[in-house]
Structure 1
């Protein structure tokens, strides 16, 4: 891998620092939901705003700092134990402040899915960007090539899975005679998303790449997160079989000397559910050359209270027992507080949040705490308390009929699938364990 020199690294750190200072100086006001009034982002701790005191307008999404710190440390220990690298998927948060934290934690780079996301990262000072997607569309390709020309120290990668896709990139590169483009050969599964379905398909793409000197093959990639079986065992077996297909394609590229010669080769998979299987299986490859295994989990930092929390025991089960005990569990870090606005009938409460505020694509929000404005006391909720439906601005909370829940009371919900909650908030307050605001994170979707 061509590494940036010390001067470039220092310059990039300064760019990231300047971006963080600009974000901290941003003025917040009522135009962002969840913000009660005018304030400077970097001085939020001085406001003494507190969720339980009712200082913030509801609903409000918050990030718990202790959970972020815990999960960051968890992943650092996992990477150290397995020897793989991490390029977390930036589409989860689209928050430069969190990207900066992840890079400080030792992440190899940041993953994106679109040209716009890549530009956000580059403008924030990120200098290694993996676009885990096909780069197509004349304007999108032009944006990336212009970005590479204006940012010569940018280490950028995108996927290819067809000769046609290679052809589109080759045609665009003719207008940029001074540039080359790093690509990863993407493998996929039948019925899944993008990616070559077979080794024969991969060979066709390799032939196309070999004809274009400006396109540099740097590795092989894929995504196993969409693979499902009739049981957990069958799912894990199918994931393993797909990783073996990726490894076969990778070794074929190595045998054909198809990788660009100046750097290590990359093999990348690993969303937020099976990155442990990826780390274990790909480490078993008998690869004679310099190789970097890159996982791309984007949701580890905030975790959740649904999709990933439910799947975590299986991930822990698959780890070596001593490592699982050393690591412990990930902690939910993203929550949405709302008010009870109506108690129209026994066993039902309507909350002041809905689809505009919380993810609903992988399960509805999970009530975890209740509180009362002005009191610092909170009460944990069990699974008898359930959100069973949401409209744009309403959530239907079903609860035990004897429960003393009043209009104006507060309900804290964990979410399932952080990716589709972050994109609903321009500003998300950071809070301590007492739910006092200590800062804010800005998102760019």
Structure 2
């Protein structure tokens, strides 16, 4: 019997989610480069490649190192690489993989170029563009100028542009994912056209998260999408209408450890088990609580401490100490990073443990 709390995966739903995204994108002339930050597991990345992905995306150098150690060779690190030691690690990866990295500043680009020139091995880079999320990325109206400068640096090969925008429409959170995806795609395709007009022959226009990938892919000029959450889905994606709760391949198995009152049960999973980065009652999701309790839609996972989860119930619920529940977390990506392994359900109540190999690889 599994010890709780633990992260359990339905392998049929996992396989179906991987396949359905590939099939959805197949009619369009775009490449699928899934983001592995969601699962952090090379075996799942290989399943994605076997179902049509051209390569993978990571957020950090250390994630890319793990994936490369397990034989994945076409990698895009979608993050600015800053600092000499990280650049040295990137250079080592560049010798063993088909590597592309993100850049969003002149200072970062110049340092990359100087070290790559000394190494006598050019680096492929993509320019990150801020299209409204106000995270990393050169401001949209400055991208053409910076692209020209990077193109002229001696040891960098500017292959394209990319963005992460999420579910934004005209700068605001939205549930209109089709318009959001098309707007994102049009912004980047238009920018790529203006960069090419200035003599910079970029190839890649990379966009699209799980909510918007299928819609952004319809835009002429988009060449690649990078969804991640779709392998498992989560409550947030179900709330956005991207999936149903039944599509969610991952759930956290927990045990009721206390029922101190008629209206409250306590489970053995708290903030060290469930992600807390997607808060309840925030736009555009407006979810109640920190997760969906499978089979009990009226139960509210209302608060957590480190080791305890407090669920609001009604007196007519017959929960007892020792009962086991499954909870679909609000955000699966950050939840996975809290677990050393996942457990794939097998026949006859058996499970297969897979290591989350890139868990905690933050540098």
Say yes or no: TM over 0.5: yes
Q: Distance in 2 between matches of 1:230 and 1:155?
A: 35
Q: Is the 8 A contact 2:81 2:87 kept in 1?
A: yes
| Counterpart selection for 2:240 from 311, 314, 332 | 311
Q: How does 1:10-409 map to 2 (within 5 A)?
A: 55-149=1-95, 151=96, 154-177=97-120, 179-190=121-132, 192-199=134-141, 201-225=142-166, 227=168, 229=172, 231-233=174-176, 237=179, 240-259=182-201, 265-281=203-219, 284-285=220-221, 293-304=223-234, 306-312=235-241, 315=242, 331-363=247-279, 364-368=290-294, 380-381=295-296, 383-409=297-323
- CA deviations 1:208-251 (Å, max 9, x no partner) are 22332321111111111163526535x76565444333112211
Give yes or no for the alignment of 1:420 onto 2:362: no
Q: Distance in 1 between matches of 2:43 and 2:122?
A: 30
- Find the counterpart in structure 2 of residue 21 from structure 1: none
Q: Secondary structure at the match of 2:118?
A: coil
Q: Distance in 2 between matches of 1:444 and 1:238?
A: 31
Q: Distance in 1 between matches of 2:348 and 2:261?
A: 32
Pairwise CA distance, 1:82: 2.8
- CA deviations 1:101-153 (Å, max 9, x no partner) are 1111121111011111111111111111011111111111111012223x1xx
Q: Secondary structure at the match of 2:47?
A: helix
Q: Distance in 2 between matches of 1:273 and 1:430?
A: 25
Q: Secondary structure at the match of 1:175?
A: helix
Q: Secondary structure at the match of 1:139?
A: helix
State TM-score, norm by structure 1: 0.73
- CA deviations 1:293-318 (Å, max 9, x no partner) are 111111111111x1011112xx58xx
Q: Is the 8 A contact 2:39 2:356 kept in 1?
A: no
Q: Is the 8 A contact 2:117 2:154 kept in 1?
A: no
Question: Any unmatched runs of 5+ in structure 2?
Answer: 280-289
Q: Is the 8 A contact 1:131 1:158 kept in 2?
A: yes
Q: Distance in 2 between matches of 1:88 and 1:390?
A: 31
Distance 1:135 1:236, change over 3 A: same
Pairwise CA distance, 1:441: 4.1
Structure whose alpha-carbon radius of gyration is higher: 1
Q: Secondary structure at the match of 2:54?
A: coil
State TM-score, norm by structure 2: 0.89
